Amino acid sequence: MSVVPFTRSRELALRIDRIACEGHGACAELLPELLSLDEWGFPIVHRAAVPPELAAHARRAVAACPVLALRLERGRS
């Protein structure tokens, strides 16, 4: 009997409040696996779903956003 550690509903997804975002760029610095910046420094999300091994990095990126524009949500892509 195997136990599935992560169900779909517990998946983390990145969400950006595009109005709040001011292009500080901390998110892409801390989470280059999922985010990069356009030529004006505003984030491009390459993959919104956060794999479990990047969850800690994603939380750090969320905490680093000076305007709280980056969020992690569960079960919502």
Please identify, using beta-carbon distances, which residue of 44 and 49 lies nearer to another protein.
Answer: 44
* By CB under 8 A, residue 38 contacts another protein: yes
Q: What is the DSSP string of 20-58?
A: T-----HHHHH-TTTEEE-TTS-EEES--EE-GGGHHHH
Q: Give me the 48-67 binding string for another protein, x by CB under 8 A, dash otherwise.
A: --------------------
* By CB under 8 A, residue 21 contacts another protein: yes
Please count the residues of this chain forming the interface with another protein, following the rule CB under 8 A. 13
